[in-house]
Amino acid sequence: MEISDRAVCGTPVLSSGMLLPRKNRVDQSLPSASVTAARESPSVLARIMAGVTAAFGWLMCTLATGAVAAFAALVLGIRPSWLILLLTIPLTLVLKFCGCLYARWAGSVAALAALLAGAYAASLVAIARVAAATGYPFGQAFRTGGIGLTLQVAKLGLSAASVLIYAGAAVLAAIVATWLVRPAARG
């Protein structure tokens, strides 16, 4: 293919009549309405649904962590507070991967998750103790004893060391969550 001598608007033309592409071509046309609509923020309904979904994911991950800690505490015969401390980092990582941690509230959300998981684990262990003492199945022991008895038995398992361990787990969760959502260093 040969480049002809004629040029269209300063752009060389091939012998076949095709224009050669310019290297520094800048499109200065105004974007269409569909392009600008894609740049706008999502609708209010989409934001609400995203928040509800994130809250549901947060609650399920938190309660699952509490249930795993309670089961392991019953099997191993130790307090659930130690297991919550061990499960704090995996819980925080799962919350990050599920999209439950946002930059501004990441530390608070993770700390609250660790505390709720600890409270749930302590309550499940307390219900298991009531069930073992009364001879009722787990569900019937909860219905018979009620939430008041469950909380009273859960308080019996709390010591100063347990409270400090739960507080340490909350602080650890907040630190890890803040570290996970920090902006990447540009370099």
Residue by residue, DSSP assigns 91-125 as: HHHHHHHHT---TTTHHHHHHHHHHHHHHHHHHHH
Q: Residue 135's Cα: distance from chain center in Å?
A: 39
Confidence label for 131 from pLDDT (cuts 50, 70 and 90): confident
Q: Please give the pLDDT value at position 14.
A: 60
Tokens of 153: 């038995």
Residue 58 to residue 111: CA distance in whole angstroms: 12
Which contacts of 22-31 are long-range, i.e. CB under 8 A and separated by 24 or more positions?
A: none
Instruction: Say whether pLDDT at 11 is over 70.
Output: no
Task: Extract the tokens encoding 40.
Answer: 């706008």
Q: Which range among 101-110, 111-120, 139-148 shows the weakest confidence by mean pLDDT?
A: 139-148
**pLDDT tens per residue, range 31-80:** 665 555 555 667 888 888 988 988 999 999 999 999 999 999 999 999 99
| Rounded CA separation 137/128 (Å) | 9
pTM attached to this predicted model: 0.70
Condensed to tens digits (0 to 9), the pLDDT of residues 135-160 reads: 888 888 878 877 787 777 777 777 88
As beta bridge partners, residue 12 has: 7
Structure tokens at 39: 């740049």
> Is a pLDDT exceeding 60 seen at residue 94?
yes
Name the token pair of 98.
Answer: 């599920």
Is the pLDDT higher at 105 or at 114? Answer: 114
Whole-number average pLDDT of the chain: 81
pLDDT of 138 reads: 83
Alpha helix locations (H) across the chain?
Answer: 33-39, 44-76, 80-98, 106-134, 138-156, 160-181
